[in-house]
Amino acid sequence: MKKLLSYIYPVTKKTASSHNGMLEISWINGKKILDSENANYSYGSLQRVLEKGIKLTSLTNVNTILLLGLGGGSVIKSLREKFNYKKHIHAIEIDNDVITIAKNEFNIDNSELLTIENTDAFTFIEKNTTQYDLVIVDLFIDTEVPPKFYSKTFCKNLSKALNNNAFLLFNLGIDIDKSIQVDEVFSFFNDSLKFKDTQVVKINKINSLLVANKK
């Protein structure tokens, strides 16, 4: 019924979260999406941004994926349904209320092929000893990427978490032209002899995605 009504006018439900303020779950034109106060988090424009990024990688030899920033899990739906990726995904999310939304509203839940861990991505990657074939970094609080994710420490730990030939897809932020922090992240991977084909791709005019391939 909500889906049907949403073709006439958007149907919105608001819910408080521990780290992301008020979140909105809306039905718009028959599609359910998750928004923060000022940004789309999942199943809207953000999902399309990550899909364009995935098309710039190759999933042929990808056996394990690490996702930093679960949100409503739209990139997981894309990987499963659009890109036919059937192997394991390890997803990290700081906000337990978001994990509940992913489960109850979008059917994204722990399974044999999906491990969801409720922890800070910065601490997780610091302690991590596993290497992945694709790491997707999609960490926002509303419209901002928390500054610690632009640090050299985080980049070094990301680099360690990638297998040889692995891909990195890093959503660097919204409207970040001329950002020194973003330039530093780009330089870290571009200057590193361990990486090739590092590029920052502008998607939908406002989202910048870093794509890099470990040698």
Ligand X SMILES: C[S@@+](CC[C@H](N)C(=O)[O-])C[C@H]1O[C@@H](n2cnc3c(N)ncnc32)[C@H](O)[C@@H]1O
Which spans of this chain sit near ligand X (rule: CB under 6 A)? Answer: 19-20, 41-42, 46, 50, 69-75, 92-95, 98, 120-122, 138-141, 146
Nearest distance in Å: CB 42, ligand X: 3
Q: What is the DSSP letter of 145?
A: -
DSSP string, 11-58: EEEEEE-SSSSEEEEEEETTEEEEE-SSSEEESSHHHHHHHHHHHTS-
Q: In the bound complex, what is the minimum distance in angstroms from residue 43's beta carbon to ligand X?
A: 7
| Comparison of 143 and 165: residue with beta carbon closer to ligand X | 143
Select 19 or 202, whichever has its Cβ closest to ligand X. Answer: 19
**Of 32 and 214, CB closest to ligand X:** 32
Work out how close the CB of 56 gets to ligand X at its nearest, in angstroms, rounded to a whole number. 16
CB of 112 to ligand X, least distance (A): 20
* Nearest residue (CB) to ligand X, 93 versus 105: 93
Residue 82, number of CB atoms within 10 A of its CB:
13
The residue number with the shortest CB distance to ligand X is 71
Closest CA to 133 of 54, 202, 46: 54
Q: Which two tokens stand for residue 202?
A: 């502008």
Nearer to ligand X, 48 or 160 (CB): 48
User: Angle at CA 75, nearest 5°, toward 179 and 144?
Assistant: 25
* The dihedral sign for the CA sequence 38, 110, 171, 204: negative
Structure tokens at 193: 């002899």
CB of 72 to ligand X, least distance (A): 5
